[in-house]
Structure 1
Amino acid sequence: MNIYNVLPLCLCTLFTFASSYSPEAMRDLVTDLPGQSHVSFRHFAGYVPVDKTNGRAMFYWFFEAMSYPNKKPLVLWLNGGPGCSSVGYGATQEIGPFLVDNKGNSVTFNPYAWNHEANILFLESPVGVGFSYSNTTSDYKKIGDDFTARDTYAFILKWLERFPAYRDTDFYIAGESYAGKYIPELAEVVYDRNNVNSSPHIKLKGIMLGNPETSEAEDWKGWVDYAWSHAVISDETYGVISKFCNFNSSTTWDVKECKDAVDEVLKQYNKIDQYSLYTPTCIKNSSVNSFVDSTRFKTNFANSKMMPRLMGGYDSCLDDYTRVFYNRADVQKALHASDGIQLKNWTICNDDIFDNWADTKPSVLPLYKKLIAGGLRIWVYSGDTDGRVPVLGTRYCINKLQLPIKTAWRPWYHKKQVSGWLQEYEGLTFATFKGAGHDVPSFKPSESLAFFSAFLNGVPPP
Structure 2
Amino acid sequence: MDFGLKLTVFLTSAFVSTISSVHHVLGNDDLVTNLPGQPAVDFHHYAGYVTVNEKNGRTLFYWFYEAMSHPDDKPLVLWLNGGPGCSSVGYGATQEIGPFIVDTDGQGIKFNNFSWNKEANMLFLESPIGVGFSYSNTSTDYDHLGDEFTAHDAYTFLHKWFLKFPSYRTRNLYIAGESYAGKYVPELAELVHDNNKDPSLHIELKGILLGNPETYDAEDWRGLVDYAWSHAVVSDETHKIISESCDFNSNDTWGNEDCCKAVDEVLKQYKEIDIFSLYTPVCIGDTAGSDHKSLQVMMKRTSNMMPRILGGFDPCLDDYAKAFYNRLDVQKALHVSDGHYLRNWSICNKKIFDDWADSKPSVLPIYKKLIVAGVRIWVYSGDTDGRVPVLSTRYSINTLGLPITKAWRPWYHKKQVSGWFQEYKGLTFATFRGAGHAVPCFKPSSSLAFFSAFLLGESPPSSR
TM-score by length of 1: 0.93
Give yes or no for contact 2:293–2:315 (8 Å, CA) kept in 1.
Answer: no
Contact 2:301 2:307 in 1 (8 A): no
Correspondence for 1:33:
35
* 2:382 pairs with 1:380: no
Deviation at 1:309, TM superposition (A): 2.1
- Counterpart in the other structure of 1:21: 24
CA distance in 2, matches of 1:266, 1:298: 7
Q: For 1:397-419, what per-residue CA distance to the aligned partner results, in whole angstroms no more than 9, with x for missing partners?
A: 00000000000000000000000
> What CA deviation, in whole Å up to 9, does each residue of 1:409-441 have, x standing for no partner?
000000000000000000000000000000000
Work out the CA distance in 1 between the residues paired with 2:178 and 2:300: 23
Match of 1:334 in 2: 333
What is the CA-CA distance between 1:389 and the residue it aligns to?
Answer: 0.1
Q: Which residue of 2 aligns with 1:278?
A: 279
Other-structure match for 2:90: 88
Q: 1:59 to 1:345 in 2, by over 3 A?
A: same
- Distance apart, 1:167 and its partner CA: 1.0
8 Å Cα contact 1:220/1:393 also seen in 2: yes
SS of 1:284's equivalent in the other structure is coil
Aligned to 2:125: 123
Is residue 211–residue 390 contact of structure 1 (8 Å, CA) maintained in 2?
A: yes
- What is the distance in 1 between the residues matched to 2:136 and 2:297? 24
Aligned to 1:238: 239
String of CA shifts for 1:327-356, please: whole Å, max 9, x gaps: 000000000111121111000000011111
Name the structure 1 match of 2:12.
none
58, 75, 78: which is aligned to 1:76? 78
For 1:312, give the aligned amino acid.
Answer: G
Answer yes or no: is the 8 Å Cα contact 1:283–1:293 preserved in 2: no
TM-score normalized by structure 2?
0.93
Contact 2:283/2:293 (<8 A) preserved: no
Distance in 1 between the 2:407 and 2:328 partners?
Answer: 53
1:201-216 pair list within 5 angstroms? 201-216=202-217
Give the secondary-structure state (helix, strand or coil) at the position aligned to 1:219: helix
Q: Which amino acid aligns with 1:182?
A: Y
Partner of 1:407: 406
Could you tell me which residue of structure 2 aligns to residue 183 of structure 1? 185
Do the aligned partners of residues 272 and 292 (structure 1) sit closer, same or farther apart at CA in structure 2, a change above 3 Å counting?
farther
In 2, are the aligned partners of 1:141 and 1:358 still within 8 Å (CA)?
no
- Aligned AA for 1:125? S
Aligned to 2:389: 390
Partner SS, residue 201 of structure 2: coil
1:282-321 to structure 2, matched below 5 A, reads 282-285=283-286, 293-303=292-302, 305-313=305-313, 315-321=314-320
In the comparison of the two structures, how many residue pairs are matched?
442
Contact preservation (8 Å) 1:78, 1:90: yes
Structure 1: gaps of 5 or more residues: 1-15
Say whether the 8 Å CA contact 2:222–2:248 is kept in structure 1: yes
Is the alpha carbon distance of 1:292 and 1:272 closer, same or farther for their aligned partners in structure 2, counting shifts above 3 Å? farther
Corresponding residue SS for 2:268: helix
Residue identity matched to 1:309: I
CA contact (8 A) 2:146 2:358 kept: yes
User: Do the aligned residues in 2 keep the contact of 1:282 with 1:292 (CA within 8 Å)?
Assistant: no
SS in structure 2 at match of 1:354: helix
Q: Read off the aligned partner of 1:266 and give its amino acid letter.
A: L
Deviation of the 1:296 alpha carbon: 4.6
2:48–2:61 Cα contact (<8 Å) kept? yes
CA-to-aligned-CA distance 1:152-171 (integer Å, 9 cap, x gap): 00000000111001111100
Which residue pairs with 1:9 in the alignment?
Answer: none
Aligned residue number for residue 343 of structure 2: 344
- 2:399 aligned counterpart, secondary structure: helix
Determine which of 135, 140, 145 is the counterpart of 1:143. Answer: 145
Q: Residue 251 of structure 2 aligns to which amino acid in structure 1? A: S
Q: Deviations over 1:70-119 (max 9, x none)?
A: 00000000000000000000000000000000011100000000000000
Which residue number in structure 2 is paired with residue 4 of structure 1?
A: none
Q: Is the 8 A contact 1:96 1:115 kept in 2?
A: yes
Amino acid corresponding to residue 159 of structure 2 in structure 1: L
Residue equivalent to 1:112: 114
AA in 1 matched with 2:424: Y
* Identical columns (%): 66
Residue 284 of structure 1 contacts residue 293 of structure 1 at CA under 8 Å; is this kept in 2?
no
Q: Deviations over 1:41-79 (max 9, x none)?
A: 000000000001111000000000000100000000000
SS at match of 1:283: coil
1:19 CA drift (Å): 3.0
Q: Within 5 Å, give how 1:216-255 maps onto structure 2.
A: 216-255=217-256
CA deviations on 1:159-190 (whole Å, 9 max, x unpaired) are 01110011111000001000000000000000
| Counterpart-to-counterpart distance in 1, 2:310 and 2:386 | 10
Letter in 2 for 1:187: A
What is the identity, as a one-letter code, of the residue corresponding to 1:202?
A: I
Alignment check: 8 A CA contact 1:30 1:44 kept: yes
- AA paired with 1:21? H
* Contact 1:275/1:310, CA 8 A, preserved across alignment: no
Aligned mates of 1:270, 1:156 — CA distance in 2: 38
Confirm whether residue 364 of structure 1 aligns to residue 363 of structure 2: yes
Kindly state the Cα deviation for residue 243 of structure 1 after the two structures are TM-superposed. 1.0
Partners of 1:312 and 1:171 in 2: CA distance:
28
Contact 1:183/1:207 (<8 A) preserved: yes
Q: Once the 2 structures are TM-superposed, how far is the Cα of residue 284 of structure 1 from its aligned partner?
A: 2.8
Q: Tell whether the 8 Å contact from 1:281 to 1:292 is kept in structure 2 after alignment.
A: no
Give the letter for the 2:302 counterpart. N
Deviation, structure 1 residue 310: 4.1
Q: Distance in 2 between matches of 1:426 and 1:340?
A: 53
RMSD over equivalenced CA pairs, Å: 1.5
Q: What's the secondary structure of 2:345's corresponding residue?
A: coil
Aligned with 1:378: secondary structure? strand
